[in-house]
Structure 1
């Protein structure tokens, strides 16, 4: 089985490296100058699960080395259009695309371009960043990939093979017959966390230190839950109780990566993560005041960023 990983960033770099260490045939599709750097120096992983410097196969065009059996799509939502163009030449008649983006909005775009039969459901659970020298720094005790069919069809052979490769590589997760529910569960968590972290500019612990912090967080979770329920994916009382416990831990340093992107003046996935959830709430006639404010916060930030006014009061 041939696997193409788009990008060698915090997510794609880690999982691609571990799959290769497990014996999988992995190629990374990269832009310059990262392609040259990794081809010369190797892919560097710093992790409590084991450091590594790996020589890896690198291409700069999707037409090189393909077609591939699996394409792992690990870009940010704001890069989706260019990412789809990049992987298009790598997609053959039997290729399966496994997207690891946040939320669900990307699935419609991928279905429209490649056909729904080529697009599986997928998600990543990992804490990781890129270090100053381009090294992948794995910072969480967990590293899991989950993927599966989005319909009731039996898992196709390429996903079964990917599951075996993940197990051989020591990765958690793997083939998931309930991938659609898992996608919604993660989206509820991420939207609630990102909405509150960006609106209140703090970690979970910081938010809990505010008088109304816990109430705002739990209200946001409930707004997202109502949307999920309206679309047929209610996590249930037990799932929501677990999520609320996780998001209301006092003293926790847990925060959405969107907050870090915002604080450094970078591009963010506000519309893809928060905006899509709010749009679905409106379609179902669900009141979502916290999501409404959070989306406005991220959009105002994006407007300031677009005109180069970040860090310049009054502009």
Structure 2
């Protein structure tokens, strides 16, 4: 199975390295700058599950793609999906499966419009990783999992084939028969975590110490109600885990969105928060905490855009 990993950043670099360690036929689609760095330093992963050092990882630039791949794994920021689709389009053929692990849901529609719904799988990943200044992947926690499946549910030969390839690599994987439910449950958690930590500009522990547990719980309930309105109410265990995670005293947990805000970077506010409100009943008017979160993030984006003007 020929796989194309779109990007060799923290996410793509980690899972791609694990697949290459397992002997899978995987190539990284990278930009020229990252290609030069990887040719000089190789791909290096530091993880409690074992390090990886790949001196000459297989690389390709967009204009060098010469034939379709069996699977294209997409893990870019959701706001970068447009140019990212352009970059890997030459690698998509009649039988290519596209496996996105982006946040939210809107990317499924965008990928389906561009390449055909029949080529698009559902997917999500759970990992905390960053690139350090030397371009090495630093795995920060004990999560390294990918879930994937057919959007219509059930199993298929291509899902089973991907599962067999992933099963040989050193990370957790789940071939889900209801991937949309899993994606909605992650969306509820990501929106709640990003919303409360960005709103409070601190960790979960900071928020709890400040007396914000009830606000966090209300935010989880609002996000879960929107999921239920769309036919994917989170299960009781998932809801309990979400609320417990956002009520943990001393927890250092934050969302990557907050880290991006602290660095003055672009954020996925539209894909994670605004699009969730678009799917709410009554135009989201009955979701006050989520609307405050949205206003806070939009104010950040407005200030960022203003300060970027010459």
TM-score interval, normalised by the smaller of the two chains: over 0.9
How many residue pairs match? The answer is 308
Distance 1:286 1:228, change over 3 A: farther
Counterpart in the other structure of 2:150: 149
Counterpart in the other structure of 1:22: 22
Counterparts in 2 of 1:27-38, with a 5 A limit? Answer: 27-38=27-38
The question of whether the paired residues in 2 share the 8 Å contact of 1:32 and 1:60 is answered with: yes
For 1:84-125, what per-residue CA distance to the aligned partner results, in whole angstroms no more than 9, with x for missing partners? 111111101100000010111111111111111000001110
Counterparts in 2 of 1:69-84, with a 5 A limit? Answer: 69-84=70-85
Counterpart in the other structure of 1:48: 48
Counterpart in the other structure of 2:197: 197
Counterparts in 2 of 1:114-133, with a 5 A limit? Answer: 114-133=115-134
Distance 1:17 1:62, change over 3 A: farther
Cα drift, residue 26 of structure 1 = 0.6
Counterpart in the other structure of 1:238: 237
Counterpart in the other structure of 2:6: 6
Counterparts in 2 of 1:1-315, with a 5 A limit? Answer: 1-54=1-54, 55-61=56-62, 63-152=64-153, 154-157=155-158, 159-211=159-211, 213-283=212-282, 287-308=286-307
Aligned to 2:138, the other structure's residue is in SS state strand
Taking the aligned partners of 1:153 and 1:241, their CA distance within structure 2 comes to: 26
Aligned to 1:169, the other structure's residue is in SS state coil
Taking the aligned partners of 2:64 and 2:157, their CA distance within structure 1 comes to: 24
Taking the aligned partners of 1:203 and 1:153, their CA distance within structure 2 comes to: 38
Taking the aligned partners of 1:302 and 1:152, their CA distance within structure 2 comes to: 37
For 1:63-82, what per-residue CA distance to the aligned partner results, in whole angstroms no more than 9, with x for missing partners? 52431000000100111100
The question of whether the paired residues in 1 share the 8 Å contact of 2:151 and 2:179 is answered with: yes
The question of whether the paired residues in 2 share the 8 Å contact of 1:62 and 1:88 is answered with: no
Cα drift, residue 239 of structure 1 = 2.3
Cα drift, residue 52 of structure 1 = 1.7
The question of whether the paired residues in 2 share the 8 Å contact of 1:28 and 1:57 is answered with: yes
Which stretches of structure 1, 4 residues or longer, exceed 3 Å deviation after superposition? 282-286
Cα drift, residue 254 of structure 1 = 0.6
Aligned to 2:155, the other structure's residue is in SS state coil
Cα drift, residue 278 of structure 1 = 1.2
Aligned to 1:140, the other structure's residue is in SS state strand
Aligned to 1:170, the other structure's residue is in SS state coil
Counterpart in the other structure of 1:313: none
Question: How high is the TM-score relative to the length of structure 1?
Answer: 0.94
Cα drift, residue 258 of structure 1 = 0.3
Cα drift, residue 282 of structure 1 = 4.4
Cα drift, residue 171 of structure 1 = 1.5
The question of whether the paired residues in 2 share the 8 Å contact of 1:189 and 1:243 is answered with: yes
Mean Cα displacement is larger for which, 58-67 or 112-121?
58-67
For 1:161-215, what per-residue CA distance to the aligned partner results, in whole angstroms no more than 9, with x for missing partners? 221121111211231112111001100000001011111101110110112x001
